[in-house]
Chain A
Amino acid sequence: MGNPVIRVDGVSKRFTIRKDKSLKERLVNFRRSAAHAEVFWALREVSFELDPATTLALIGHNGSGKSTLLKIIGGILAPTTGTVARRGRLAALLELGAGFHGDLTGRENVYLNASILGLTRAQTARHFDEIVEFSGIEEFIDTQVKFYSSGMHVRLAFAVAVHVDPEIMLIDEVLAVGDEPFQRKCLERIKRFQQEGRTIVLVTHGLDVVHQLCDRAVVLDHGQLVLDGTPVQAVRALRDRYAEAERLAAPEAGGARSVHITDVRVLDTSGAPLRAIDSGGALVLEVDVESAVRREEWVVGIALRNHMDLLVYGTNTRLLGHRPPPLHGRRTARFVLPSLPLVDGQYYVTTAVHPPVGPEWHRLDRTAVFRINSDGGEDGVLHVDPKFEVVEGEGLT
């Protein structure tokens, strides 16, 4: 569109961690002060543009710099180098109720917090009833906030925040609070924001939220932008990174590495390799497992994921009630899936082998892929082949 709402241009942020905070230490270490300061880059040369009415997710592992980036976009931190430009009103929900003061009543806090977020007193007064209704804590609105439960606190804060009416909204991990009905209410509200053409940048660890809400995602790793793409690509890239990290961190206890999945094949019922089937058709998955040492008990499992990384189907030998014979050397586990009534699309096979209890020995994500063909015209997971007709109505004629 070439008319971005947010432009992040070569933003880097350097943090200096000083170990000496008191005057005495500073004076004593005055000459060596530079040596005592530890420098690290929370962000390095991050650039992207965001078009209006998009919802962007910033994802990454802990300490990847996503919250720092959000704060820089919000103007709370100043970048060391680079610039951020944006247009329109902005509301940052970095921490719900950051401006709440425990000694003030809910009502007083609503006014204070709304003015911190940029509403005038008159505007707040106009939305006040709505805010209270949204929060659902009418009875306690004149109670001091310090007596609120944490859930009530969050409800009231979110209620204020969503009534601020920003063009750009920054959200940091705030959706993970509140009970389920309230969370649903929040999600609905965010969806309404999206429909109204507002721009949202959110930081989250809940990768499902990314799928659900966002139309773009940026993956950060140690302050660097490693991927900027669709939520599906980004979540996949991030999950691969997690898996990689886990693999590297996993202790090689009990010769775990000695059990391997060597191959995964997608076959038809006659045993020929297969790329695509029609919806409702049959499929055979063969998993080759190899172990250098003898394993009395072992479990092999499969999972099918669709292009949205949604788990469509999964099972393993233990869930099926099978106890495979001891594993030593090479074995082939065969799963026959007689009918896959799925909607049109690509499906990815994940396999894993593990002991009945304890960590996985080996896991291969998306090792094989197959396609399911159907007539399309469907969304979701299941292919149901519906019939449709208009039934003659009565009364209106």
Chain B
Amino acid sequence: MLSDRPAAFDRSTACDRPTGLPRHELEPGHAGGAAAAPLRLVHPPRSFARGFLPDVADVWAYRELLGNLVRKELKVRYKDSVLGFLWTLVRPLLQLFIYAIAIGVFLGQGRAIPDFGVYLFTGLVAWTLFTDVIGGCTGTIVSNAGLVKKVYLPRELFPLSVVGAAVVNFALQLVVLVAAYAVTESWPRPADLPLVPLALAVLVVFGTALGLVLAAANVYLRDVQYLVEIGLLLWFWMTPIVYDWTKVRTNLVDHHGLSWLFQIYLANPMANVVLAFQKALWPGGDTRQGQPFAYDGDLYLRLGVLLLVCTALLWCAQRIFARTQGNFAQEL
């Protein structure tokens, strides 16, 4: 019946592109109509074992968007607040203040450990980065439900944007640390500084792996975000941030002979990261008084092994995430 219509109204004659090139055709990456591209399966099934690299390639293709999402995370967080970015510093500084008073002064730890404020802060910046990553990732798919349900992008972008924003905040807090060095006029030894990027890599890889799994789990079970809060609290005290690791050794190994338990304690990736931060960034560890409190094991080896383990974890986490993400849109 469409053929009843005169040719002028028949769209099939208008299918050819207009004589003048459409403006988009002139752009790189936009040229070529649909006919030029190959017919591709949408989400071809990727095997559990071999799907990692193609998925990473997908994320890489969206790297510019990832940058924009990180920027959005940062912009939105303190939008409309007078102090803006300064707020990122308030929480760690308050924590620092509380622990410095409660543990450093009241419990007398500050008399034993030199530069106790800096000691605390090196651990706290690492820990803040970790909680920002884990806490942020957990809720990220749920809080971006609007996008997840309406637009296709590799869903890994949401947790990754949280990681990106957390790393930027971490960098800001390092500025405070540098200021503290300037005030106390004691600078860390450059010899141990290579530990910092290594520890940071372990932290980010480990946090991302955990974050991916938790983000996916939270979609299916909203209890996860509350469990994460409790878990992080427990984890905080299992990491030598506000106390020093020698106390744990004294209690477990010397008093009770539980050296296997101490080894488990030291296997905690965050304990290693924090110990590395303290060793590299806490100038007090170089003084005679502070030396016992700096970890004496081979941190390079420990962190290297952890980095490998955490990379394997990240691989597993991404595969779990990829398996579950097909149903995100309907579960939200």
Given the interface contacts A112-B72, A215-B11, does A52 sit within 8 Å of B33 by beta carbon?
A: yes
Q: Which residues from chain A contact B223 at a C-beta distance below 8 Å?
A: 22-24
Asked if A123 and B27 sit within 8 Å, CB to CB, the answer is: yes
CB distance from B62 to the nearest CB of A (A): 9
Asked if B152 and A75 sit within 8 Å, CB to CB, the answer is: yes
Asked if A92 and B79 sit within 8 Å, CB to CB, the answer is: no
- Majority secondary structure of chain A interface residues (helix, strand, loop or mixed): loop
Q: Which residues from chain A contact B2 at a C-beta distance below 8 Å?
A: 215, 230
Asked if A194 and B4 sit within 8 Å, CB to CB, the answer is: no
Q: Which of B32-88 contact A (CB under 8 A)?
A: 33-43, 64-65, 68-69, 72, 75-76, 79-80
Asked if A87 and B327 sit within 8 Å, CB to CB, the answer is: no
Asked if B33 and A88 sit within 8 Å, CB to CB, the answer is: yes
Nearest opposing residue in chain A for B66, CB measure? A115
Q: Which of A103-137 contact B (CB under 8 A)?
A: 103-104, 108, 111-112, 115-117, 120-121, 123, 126
Given the interface contacts A71-B329, A75-B43, A88-B37, does A196 sit within 8 Å of B80 by beta carbon?
A: no
Give bound CA distance, A95 to B8, whole Å. 34
> Which of B142-150, B201-209, B238-246, B268-276 lines the interface with chain A?
B142-150
Q: Which residues from chain A contact B267 at a C-beta distance below 8 Å?
A: none
Q: Which residues from chain A contact B147 at a C-beta distance below 8 Å?
A: 98-99, 116
In the complex, how many residues of chain A place their beta carbon closer than 8 angstroms to a beta carbon of chain B?
65
Residue in A111, A194, A195 with the greatest tally of chain B CB atoms within 10 Å = A195
Q: Which residues from chain A contact B222 at a C-beta distance below 8 Å?
A: 21-22
> Which of B13-21, B124-132, B190-198, B301-309 lines the interface with chain A?
B13-21
Given the interface contacts A76-B151, A87-B34, A88-B34, does A230 sit within 8 Å of B1 by beta carbon?
A: yes
Nearest opposing residue in chain A for B24, CB measure? A165
Interface membership of B258, Cβ < 8 A: no
Nearest opposing residue in chain A for B78, CB measure? A103
Asked if B80 and A87 sit within 8 Å, CB to CB, the answer is: no
Asked if A104 and B151 sit within 8 Å, CB to CB, the answer is: no
Asked if A377 and B68 sit within 8 Å, CB to CB, the answer is: no
Not counting A77-B326, A85-B42, a sample of 5 additional A-B residue pairs whose C-beta atoms are within 8 angstroms of each other reads: A21-B222, A22-B223, A76-B151, A116-B147, A117-B151
A-B contact pairs, 14 of them (CB 8 A): A7-B39, A24-B223, A52-B34, A71-B329, A73-B42, A76-B329, A77-B326, A85-B40, A92-B151, A98-B151, A99-B151, A101-B76, A195-B11, A307-B1
B residues bordering A, Cβ < 8 Å? 1-2, 4-6, 8-9, 11-12, 14-18, 22, 24, 27, 29-30, 33-43, 64-65, 68-69, 72, 75-76, 79-80, 146-153, 221-223, 326-327, 329-330
